Chains A and B, each alone.
Chain A
Amino acid sequence: MKLKIGIYWGAACGGCDVAILDTHEKLLEIADKADIYLWPLATDFKYSDVRAMKDGSLDAVLFSGGVRNSENEEIAKLLREKAKVMIALGACAQGGGVPGLANMYTREEIMRRAYIESESTDNKEGVVPLERSTAGPGYDLELPRLYNTVKTLSQVVDVDYTIPGCPPASLQIYSALGLVWDDMLPKKGAVIGAGDRALCEECPRKKSEKTITHIYRTHEKLPDAETCFLEQGFICLGVATRAGCGSRCIKSWTPCRGCYGPLDDVADQGIKMLGALASVIEPKEEAAINAVLDSVVDPLRTFHRFSLASSILRRRKE
C-alpha cells in the first residue's frame, strides 16, 4: 500500500522543500512509494482538507521551519495530530535556524525595523500590519500573530525524528524517507539522515596542534588548500557540528557554519563552539587573549547561527 505523507513549512525559506526537489529523478521514486497529501510549495491543498483527515492518517510529516507565528503553531499542532511520524526537517525546525536569530530582539523592535526604520522603507505614516482588521462593514480579516520568541518544532509539538541541515543534503532526505517506507526507523528522538560524529572526523583537511593568534573572516585572507580552517584562524564550527552533509562547504573552501546542529547529548552547540575556540587560542595573559578575541566579530551569532532558538538561554533577556 502506498504511504501517505505531508510536507509543510513553518518559519523557513523554502530551501528544505527545494532540497526535496533536488533529489531529481529520485523524486519520482518518492512519488511511487508515497502519495503527497499536503505540500504548499508544490501542490494545491486546503487546510480544511487536512482538518477533515482522521487523526494519525498521515504516515509521516516532514516539517521544515521553526515556529514563529500563530499559523506555524496551529498547523504544527494540527499535523502532529494527523501524523504517525513527525519529522523535523532542516536546521530551522531543529534549532530555529537563521530566523531564530530574531530571538536577539523583541517583536516590537523587529516590526519597527522592518516596517518603519529600514533604509529602503518609505512609510511616513508608520503603517504596520494589523493582526486583525475590521475596517468597513462585513470585514473581519486576520493575519497570524508574529511571535516575540522563535521556537523550534520540538518546543511546540512532540517530534519523533530530526533531519538536520541548511538545507539537508538531498540524498540524506531520500535515505531518511527510505527508513519510513522500509519500516527501519530507529529509536524515537533520533537524528536521521546524518552521521553521529563531528564533522572534523570526516573533514579531508590536515589537522595538527591548534594555536590561534588571530581570527580572520573569510574575506580577509585566502585559506590554503590543505590545512584545517581553524588552524588557519578561520572560525570553523566543524568541531561542534554533526557530520552528514558530505563536507560540502569544506570542499568548497568554506569553513563550517554549523548547520547540521549539535551532536547527541550536547545541550548547546554554540556555547560548545565558544569553549572549543577559546581553548585553542595561543596567548596566556589576559591582555594578549583579549587582543585575539577582539578579532572575533559577533561571536554570539557566529556560534549560534543556526541554533539560537534551541540553545539553553534561547533568547536575549528583557
Chain B
Amino acid sequence: MQGTGVETEIGRIGATTESSVGDFLQLMKPRVMSLVVFSALTGMVVAPGTIHPVLAVIALLAITIGAGASGALNMWYDADIDAHMARTAARPIPRGRLTRDEALSFGAVLSLFSILTLGVLVNWTAGALLAFTIAFYLFVYTMWLKRRTPQNIVIGGAAGAFPPMIGWAAVTGSVSFESLLLFLIIFTWTPPHFWALALYRCRDYERVGVPMLPVVAGPTETRRQIWLYSLILVPLALVPGFIGLAGPAYLAAAAGLGATFLYLAWRVRKITQGREADTAARNLFGFSILYLFLLFAAMLAEHVAMQWLA
C-alpha cells in the first residue's frame, strides 16, 4: 500500500498515513533480530543435550519474536527522539506510517505471545529469561538508563547479550557457566560497538539529549574506553576454546578476528582528527558486527562438524 506522500523530515512525527506489513516488520528491528536469532541458535547448538528439531524451531521463533517485540516497544517509547535523529527519522512512527498506540499494542501482544509460547512449549527457564530480557530492555535500558547516564549501553547491553543464554536454557532447562560466558562475550562487545557508532553520530545524540559517552565525556575518553573494552573482549572471546565449549578452529578464528578488532580499535584511539577519525570509527563499527557474527559462526560450524564426524 502507498502512503500519501509524507516526506521523511528530521524533527517531526508525520501525519498518520496508511501502514503496511513492512512497517510492522521494520518496527521489529529486523537487523537486530537476525543477530539475536543467530546467537540464540549458537547457544542451542553448543548446549549439552538434545531438543526435538520442531521444538528447537519453535524456541528460535519465540526468541526472535520476543526480540522483535522489544524493538517495537523501544520505538514506541523513543518515537519523540527518533524523529530528531538522522539514523532513526525514517522509522515507521516518525514517518507517520504507524501510530505510537499501534506500536505499543503490537509490542505488548507479541511479548506476551512469545514468552507464553517459549514457556509452555519449551521450558519455563527459557520463558522466564525471555521475559526478563524484554522487561530489561524496555524498563531498565529504554525508559530508565538511555536518557540518564552514559553507562546506558553498558548496562542496557545485557538485554542484547541474553539470547545465547536463552537458547542454551531452551535445551538444558538451566543456566550454567558456559552460557554465562556467551553472555559476557556479547556484553563486553556492546560498548565498543555502540561507542564507535556514537563517535561519528555524536551530534545526533547531542541534539536529542541522549547522554552517550562522546557527548558527556568527550571523544578522547570514549576512544580510551573503546580500547579498554576491546582489551577485555578479545581475550574473553578466546576462553570458550580453553574450557571445552569450542575447539581449535574456533580458537584460531577468535584469535584472527580479535587481532583485527584490536587493530581497528587502536586506530580509533590514535586517529583523532578530521575525516580519517570518522572513517576509523565507521570501520570499527562495521567490523564489530562482522566480528560477533563470525565468532558465533565459527563456534556453530565447528560444533556441527564435530558432531557430524563423531
Q: Do the two shown chains form a genuine complex with each other?
A: no
